[in-house]
């Protein structure tokens, strides 16, 4: 019996459907951090000049919206924990399906105990990126008592953009920015497991960046990950003897020159020129940008990324 297949992904979507809807709604209405467009750099192959079209725009929420968000902080925290719980419950269900465990406990602490003491088979994302499993499980374990205080004892307060939760022995203070990082972390991982979001270089950097923002919550080591910058790069490549030799080393050097000491990821659009006119166009999304120094392109190569010229004018 296959584990973590498409049927399992659909079951996970059903488990976390409401919470994902809630967080998607908050994201669309820009109540957490606001939205931004990304910068575009236009390069001509091996020519030092670069045109930077900086379209970065922050849309911060209004004061009224921020007050609404403060009111929602306890709900946001418990909904984030619910997603964590559903992820690990889903993993336990998949292991029960193949006989690795006898039953899936109902209580949180018993789930945590089973996960800690059992030889489980984890989803491929956890297997290939063990840090995600370790940090999410730390969040799942550490935040339970504070989730219970909110749900069962209403023992919390919100002031100065901070959620404060107290138990008999411990207290926790979460700033709005930290809560946003927690949301982004658990939602991203849930969407990856559900097949909604791919995992690549950008997602890896963003997860580590957000996990660094909530070190007080998981209690594990920092990655010291700077916030990755995603940009679009357009590289115009004149034809040379029937090929378009895209100099990717040159692209990386120009990005480093324009953005020194910044972790930059980029989508790459390569426009092949015959004379001064576009003849062919390739678009490589961030996770599929080739890593070599020189990429020799012809109209019949890299066909998966070859696009109609009118699409490249957008």
In this prediction, residues 269-278 reach a mean pLDDT of: 93
Encode pLDDT of 6-37 as tens digits.
Answer: 999 999 999 998 888 877 766 543 333 333 45
pLDDT at 115: 97
Is the pLDDT at 42 greater than 80, yes or no? yes
Phi first, then psi: give them for residue 175, nearest 5 degrees. Answer: -75, 160
Q: Where are the domains of the chain?
A: 6-30+60-218, 229-312
276 against 245, higher pLDDT:
245
pLDDT of 303 > 50? The answer is yes
Q: What is the pLDDT of residue 25?
A: 64
Of 85, 35, 107, give the one whose Cα is nearest residue 186. 85
* pLDDT given at position 72: 85
Question: Which pLDDT belongs to residue 19?
Answer: 87
Separation between Cα atoms, residue 249 and residue 234, nearest integer Å:
14
Residue whose C-alpha is closest to residue 244's, from 266, 274, 283? 274
Can you tell me the mean pLDDT for 112-119? 95
pLDDT tens digits, residue range 51-90? 676 543 333 344 554 566 678 899 999 999 999 999 999 9
Exposure string (b/e) for 49-77, b if CB count within 10 Å is 16 or more? eeeeeeeeeeeebeeeeeeebbebbbebb
pLDDT tens digits for 230-262? 899 999 999 999 999 999 999 999 999 999 988
Q: Give DSSP secondary structure letters for 68-88.
A: HHHHHHHHHHHHHHHHHHHHH
Using pLDDT thresholds of 50, 70 and 90, give the confidence band for residue 156: very high
- For 169-195, how does the pLDDT look when each residue is reduced to its tens digit (9 = 90+)? 899 999 988 998 999 899 999 999 999
Residue 63's pLDDT is: 54
Share of the chain above pLDDT 90, in %: 64
**Which two structure tokens, joined as six digits, stand for 9?**
């992904």
48 has pLDDT over 80: no
* Percent of the chain's residues with pLDDT above 70: 88
Determine the number of helices (DSSP H) and then strands (DSSP E) in the chain. 12, 10
CA distance 229 to 284: 17
Q: Residue 99 pLDDT more than 70?
A: yes
Task: Count the alpha carbons within 13 Å of 46 in the hemisphere toward its beta carbon.
Answer: 10
Report the greatest alpha carbon distance in the chain.
76
Question: The whole model's pTM is what?
Answer: 0.80
Nearest CA among 193, 140, 159 for reference residue 20 = 193
What confidence score (pLDDT) does residue 261 get?
Answer: 85
Q: How far apart are CA 167 and CA 263, in angstroms?
A: 39
Mean pLDDT of the chain, nearest integer: 87
Q: From CA 203, how far away is CA 187, in angstroms rounded?
A: 12
């Amino acid at each position: 019996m296959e584990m973590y297949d498409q049927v399992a992904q659909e079951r996970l979507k059903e488990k976390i459907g409401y919470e994902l809807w809630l967080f998607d709604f908050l994201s669309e209405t820009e109540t957490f951090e606001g939205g931004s467009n990304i910068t575009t750099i236009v390069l001509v192959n091996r020519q030092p000049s670069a045109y930077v079209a900086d379209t970065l725009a922050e849309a911060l929420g209004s004061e009224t919206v921020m007050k609404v968000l403060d009111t929602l902080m306890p709900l946001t925290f418990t909904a984030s924990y619910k997603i964590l719980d559903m992820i690990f419950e889903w993993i336990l269900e998949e292991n029960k399906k193949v006989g690795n465990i006898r039953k899936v406990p109902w209580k949180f602490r018993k789930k945590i105990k089973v996960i800690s003491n059992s030889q489980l088979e984890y989803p491929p994302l956890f297997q290939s990126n063990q840090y995600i499993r370790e940090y999410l499980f730390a969040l799942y374990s550490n935040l339970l008592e504070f989730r219970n205080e909110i749900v069962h004892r209403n023992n919390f307060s919100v002031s100065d953009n901070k959620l404060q939760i107290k138990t008999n022995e411990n207290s926790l203070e979460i700033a709005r920015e930290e809560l946003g990082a927690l949301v982004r972390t658990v939602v991203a991982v849930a969407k990856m497991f559900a097949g909604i979001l791919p995992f690549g270089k950008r997602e890896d950097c963003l997860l580590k960046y957000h996990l660094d923002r909530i070190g007080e919550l998981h209690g594990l080591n920092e990655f010291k990950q700077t916030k990755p910058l995603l940009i679009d790069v357009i590289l115009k490549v004149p034809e040379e003897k029937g090929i378009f030799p895209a100099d990717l080393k040159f692209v990386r050097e120009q990005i480093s020159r324009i953005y020194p000491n910044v972790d930059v990821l980029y989508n790459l659009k390569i426009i092949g020129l015959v004379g001064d006119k576009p003849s062919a166009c390739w678009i490589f999304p961030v996770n599929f940008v080739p890593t070599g120094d020189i990429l020799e392109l012809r109209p019949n190569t890299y066909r998966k990324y070859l696009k109609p010229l009118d699409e490249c004018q957008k």
